[in-house]
Amino acid sequence: MNFVASSSDVITVGDRASRMARTYDIAFDWQRNILLSCGLEGKIKSLDLATGESKVLLELPGKPAIIQLNLSRDLATFCTHSIPDIFERKRREPFLVQIWNYLGLA
């Protein structure tokens, strides 16, 4: 069995008081051998484990911090759980849950 070393960059985001670069969640697309990842930068990234290719699959409107990512069992959709205005002391927006057409993006 051959393994390819693969990685994907995480962007540092935040304000002067808090700067973080962290992957918050991953989901594995076993049919395409792709890892999906999310973080505070408001993007869903894909990492092809066979080729090592990394790309931005989706940038959420308004770039809310994505803290959770769930891929459906049939690999047709994924759900993001976000916190808009995460770095604001008084957040105006509630938590945001969105469902996306993965097949249309992949």
Domain ranges, ordered by start, for the chain: 13-105
CA-wise closest residue to 34 among 69, 82, 64, 80: 69
Please report the pLDDT score of residue 10 as a whole number.
53
Residue that has been written with the tokens 């604001």 in this structure: 88
pLDDT in tens, 29-46: 999 999 999 988 899 999
Residue whose C-alpha is closest to residue 32's, from 71, 70, 2? 71
Q: Higher pLDDT residue, 34 or 16?
A: 34
Place 17 in a pLDDT band, splitting at 50, 70 and 90. very low
Cα-Cα-Cα-Cα dihedral sign, residues 27, 28, 31, 32: positive
Task: Tell me the DSSP string of 46-63.
Answer: EEETTT--EEEEEE-TT-
